[in-house]
Chain A
């Protein structure tokens, strides 16, 4: 019995630490959804590119860790701006086309990834070694630091959305785009910024999981699946809802994985999503 309690404690802690990284990906989706009203399917691939970026910059080209992060940050911001300009802007207001275009984009990045990076799984050595023990629960420093960075990034995002003028513009567009445009808000620029920030969050999440998982070009699929479940459970467009749901899903997956096995944990998370859809269709904190 004691062993089980211990395992659950361990699962709970790991779940929270993983959950915060899911939150980063899901928040980018939420941000883009708020402005463009689409879910960006290519988001999982940006996460994959972030992780691959670490492999190439940090392992292959031996850049310092900080420089690696800067490179990934800049490239993902640029990619976000570029994708918005090339694909999302011409299709504004055409929901079906927009979503399908993001699926196409995801396929392009993924298949190019398989062609360029190969099918060999890649591993990145830990940035930080060591284990920290809290009571009976032992956590790798690596995961703790990744989670800490996640918390900081979530805090920064809150500040951006709720404390800056750009954030005000974002919320205004989400509320009522037509009125926002009439008041002189440049919706295209705000959309570009949302994409850039969203992409950067996903890429950074990828960068911090790089030492935790084996990397391959298909790794975005699991991440995007979990993120979709999270934004449904949390409520589309709600930042706080996304954060709560991300932690919840992380814990469910981790504890469920320990007790029932990885595949059953998927099922568990899915059942939670269906229950939420039945009981609270708009999600935990979503507006109906």
Chain B
């Protein structure tokens, strides 16, 4: 049943777009990009860590590819990968220092890191300064540049499906289960007593998370055809966190649900500027206070008749005093 639905959805994503209008395609592209970001962020939120600065790694990926392609004329396909790798390397450097400490140190450091990265992009002429880098070309395939929405849509779809499949499978590997065991201080100690190097696992998880953000960030920049310090800001980091929390931490499908709903809504509110953040934030607070398991927990709560059980098991574990 679930598998059938998924197959149907993927078939629709592959087959329907030629019929869609460019604007609809644009919305779907934005949703796909955001879904990968949110799902990558979920890797570390699933183990009880918050990041206020994933936009910094997305920007690193985007700038890496934009610079390689515009300055050194390297093919964008390699640029995408390089974006992911560079983001991953920076994630490793910060994670190795901060993930040994309490969760709050990590969250705050990532936030500071993203702001410093942003300041660096603004300050140095190499990165294009405040104006950023324009004229970032789309990749070419078999001699054709993928310049139309429809052509590039398939690039985004391919990268998204591969990333999402990898991140999904990752949960059910030994590595994925180990991450789940690091959710709380107590279970982390237990895992360490079994010989698991918690800090290394957490750092690796952060690297994976940032690799996919950097990869998709590069694709994103080639979609926009330009990048500036004002594209990937603190507000993007916030939005991603909101998608994951609103959708729910209890299941892989939670963050995806939150992203699709809120990005769809956000595209409609885009013209209204600051109203978008306002609406996102209000939705976030309402969900956190009234539905701690996120929207994904709704069917389960309805089936049980009422919100007796306030927190879903996995969500409850994740929330337990991580930083103490």
Contacts and interface: CB of A to CB of B under 8 A. Distances in A.
Interface string B187-215: 00000000000000000000000000000
Contact of B282 (A93, A108, A231): A108
Interface string A83-94: 000010011011
A96 B322 contact: yes
Interface string A101-130: 101110110111011000000000000000
Contacts of A93: 319, 321
B289 A87 contact: yes
A96 B241 CA distance: 11
Nearest to A267: B116
Interface stretch (A143-151, A163-171, A270-278): A270-278
B238 A107 contact: yes
A115 B277 CA distance: 11
A87 B105 contact: no
Centre residue among A96, A236, A277 by max chain B CB count within 10 A: A96
B281 A111 contact: yes
B278 interface: yes
B288 A97 contact: yes
Interface string B94-133: 0001101111110111011101100110110000000000
B238 A99 contact: no
B292 interface: yes
B8 interface: no
A111 B116 contact: no
Contacts of B111: 225, 228
Contact of B281 (A91, A96, A105, A267): A105
Q: How large is the interface on A (under 10, 10 to 19, 20 to 34, 35 or more residues)?
A: 35 or more
B318 interface: yes
Contacts of A99: 50, 107
B322 A95 contact: yes
B159 to A, nearest CB: 28
A261 interface: yes
Contacts of A87: 285, 289
Nearest to A261: B123
B111 to A, nearest CB: 6
B275 interface: yes
Contact of A115 (B50, B108, B275, B323): B275
B296 to A, nearest CB: 15
A90 B289 contact: yes
Contact of A273 (B101, B112, B321): B112
A115 B281 CA distance: 15
Contacts, number: 128
B108 A228 contact: yes
B319 A94 contact: yes
A110 B178 CA distance: 39
B284 interface: yes
A221 interface: yes
Contacts of A110: 277
A115 B123 contact: no
Given A108-B281, A108-B285, A274 B97 contact: yes
Interface of B is mostly: helix
A14 interface: no
A223 B312 CA distance: 36
Given A90-B289, A277-B98, A278-B97, A263 B323 contact: no
A120 to B, nearest CB: 14
Given A99-B50, A104-B242, A107-B280, A236 B120 contact: no
Contacts of B105: 232, 236, 277, 281
Nearest to A99: B50
Nearest to B103: A95
Nearest to A95: B322
A278 to B, nearest CB: 6
A90 B280 CA distance: 20
B165 interface: no
A264 interface: yes
A100 B122 contact: no
A39 interface: yes
Interface in B254-295: 273-275, 277-278, 280-282, 284-285, 288-289, 292
B112 A229 contact: yes
Contacts of A278: 97
A43 interface: no
Interface in A194-247: 221, 225, 228-229, 231-232, 236
B45 to A, nearest CB: 8
Given A91-B289, A236-B104, A274-B97, A96 B318 contact: yes
A105 B285 contact: yes
B97 A266 contact: no
A44 to B, nearest CB: 11
A274 B110 CA distance: 11
Given A97-B292, A114-B273, 7 more contacts: A108-B285, A114-B274, A263-B122, A266-B115, A266-B119, A273-B112, A281-B100
15 contacts: A93-B319, A94-B311, A94-B319, A95-B319, A96-B249, A97-B292, A103-B238, A104-B242, A107-B278, A107-B281, A108-B285, A115-B275, A236-B104, A261-B123, A277-B105
Q: Nearest 8 pairs between A and B by C-beta?
A: A263-B123, A107-B281, A94-B319, A111-B278, A111-B274, A104-B284, A111-B277, A263-B119
